[in-house]
Amino acid sequence: MKIRRLVVAICSAAILAATPAAAQRAPIDAQAWTAYKAKFLDTNGRIIDNGNGGISHSEGQGYGMLLAYLANNPADFEQIWYFTRTELLLRDDGLAVWKWDPAATPHVADTNNASDGDLLIAYALALAGSAWNKKDYLQAAASMAKAILSRVVINSGGRTLLIPGVDGYRMPERKDGPIINPSYWVFEALPVMALLVPSDRWQKLSDDGLALLRSLQFGPRRLPADWVSLKAKPEPADGFEAEFGYNAVRIPLYLARAGIDDKALLARLQQGMTVEGDEPATIDLATGKPKDLLPDPGYRIVNDVVACVVGGTKLPASVQQFAPSLYYPATLQLLSLAFVTEKHPECL
């Protein structure tokens, strides 16, 4: 027991050293966080995806916990974590079920996990546990990190990959497996996972994920697909739309937040997803034509973050104003504002 406490203490100190600024101040101001939780957080601690039938999912719970941490609100963090651990941590392998539907009985019909949600939850727990001296959070984070490493981090074709879920993405379940979703690599979380559960596979996972992003250049706009088959040469996976879609829109933000300063990659993604002057869109990869325009400030700010990182361009006032409408873009907007506030205040 003493050894375990010592490991937790050392891990906490290392995480704090890796993320000092967020531990000292709140990158998300109280007014913005109040607006977010008024729109998407119910009294049970459930983050509501109001653009997707009012469901909740592990991704949303992980985002909610991360945002509560960035807002320095331990009470709200604990409320979201309570729902997460009691309603989603139902599997016997330490990972979270991916979907909770208020309209279904039972609320959980599919017990598969989503590896990005698992990463976000473990990452938020580690940051909060370190900043607020909550050993139970750190222990829960370490347990999830261990499960992620053993269950959804795989070796295939000389690469270390993050598969989207335990079930359904590898051969023989998928003839074109393994299948990946490039937007599931939460790059900023991986060094923290390595502190929780030391293994050189975390760094390999980060390196191989970044190498894949550099290589995935489909269609005339040279963009990655949301879902990719790596059975042979990478190609859009069967049974999914061949598109740079809502999943992939967050990739440039994840790169920026992780401090990955690959200007060529960031610029290619920014240019590829931008249409009609300066508006982001989902893209049909085969034709390069836009599918859905994304005028919400929460989507537009992703391009503005790239412009800030690559060229020092200030964020437009329109994306600095936070008036949440839909869960997903509102989440991306707060993560973007928190990042720029903390790392690039010159862009505000």
Question: Catalytic residue numbers?
Answer: 59, 116
Question: What distance lies between CA 197 and its chain's CA centroid?
Answer: 19
Residue with tokens 């690469």: 159
The two structure tokens encoding residue 309: 């990182």
Beta-carbon count within 10 A of 346 CB:
9
**Long-range contacts of the stretch 267-275 (C-beta < 8 A, 24+):** 267/306, 267/310, 268/217, 268/222, 269/223, 269/306, 270/303, 270/306, 270/307, 270/310, 271/221, 272/221, 272/222, 272/223, 272/244, 273/221, 273/223, 273/244, 273/248, 273/249, 273/303, 274/303
- DSSP bridge partners of 236: 228
Question: What distance lies between CA 52 and its chain's CA centroid?
Answer: 17
Beta-carbon count within 10 A of 263 CB:
11
The two structure tokens encoding residue 245: 């879609």
Q: H/E element holding 139?
A: helix 135-151
Using DSSP's 3-state secondary structure scheme, residue 183 falls into helix
